[in-house]
Copies of this chain bind each other. A is one copy, B any other.
Amino acid sequence: MAGKVFFSVSMSLDGFSASESMEGILATPEQRERDPRLGRWMAQWMELQAWIFPLRFFRENLKLGQGGEEGRDNDIARETFERTGASVMGKRMFDLGEPTWPAEAPFHTSVFVVTHTEREPWQRPGGTTFHFVNDGIERALDQAREAAGDRDVRIAGGSATILEYLNAGLVDEFSIALAPVLFGAGTRLFDGVDASRVALAPVRSEASSRVTHLTYAVRPR
């Protein structure tokens, strides 16, 4: 039986899934000192993701060391990982991750990168293999479904790629970790959504001490 196609992201209360630039995360402390915007973008991103950094699962998966918090947030992060049989991501997300993921990239499955760049599959220790798909989002999803078997396919990001799949009617459900922060500016998760085609049905809403986990099923209108 085929699994579901889903995405799962953190979002600010005002709808942003990323700050104005990811340069804040890639910058050195010296660069952040010279350009206060870099520090602000970094701080926003840290606030958005603050629920995930202390988790035991996150620390284990990114090889950050032993220990960490258990509890419902940790269970949700682990469940999201365990249901995922393959991921799809856009080229920009891959380009940002390539220099920053540890050698043992945190996917441990096949990852299909939607890109115009032709490149041989890139196999990493720990079971992650990146496949570069040059013929569009549907073909990337087909391959991911096949690789996932009866597990689910995660549209990993970024938000432009998520929106392409959502507007194409290819997403079954999604989860948002709604963070108690206002960005004011940045990249909006649902910017460009085709509201005339996408309807939502609430599946689950669960508050932890740090965020509210919201899950919706996607329905055609």
Contacts and interface: CB of A to CB of B under 8 A. Distances in A.
Interface stretch (A102-110, A124-132, A196-204): A196-204
A54 to B, nearest CB: 16
**Chain A contact residues (Cβ within 8 angstroms of B): what range?**
35 or more
A70 B176 CA distance: 29
Contacts of A81: none
Interface in A159-203: 176, 178, 180-185, 188-190, 192-196, 198-202
A180 B215 CA distance: 10
Interface stretch (A24-32, A59-67, A205-213): A205-213
A44 B193 CA distance: 14
Complex copy number for this chain? 2
A155 to B, nearest CB: 16
A180 B206 contact: no
Contacts of A206: 207
Contact of A201 (B180, B182, B183): B180
Interface of A: 13-15, 40, 44, 176, 178, 180-185, 188-190, 192-196, 198-202, 204-207, 209-212, 214, 216
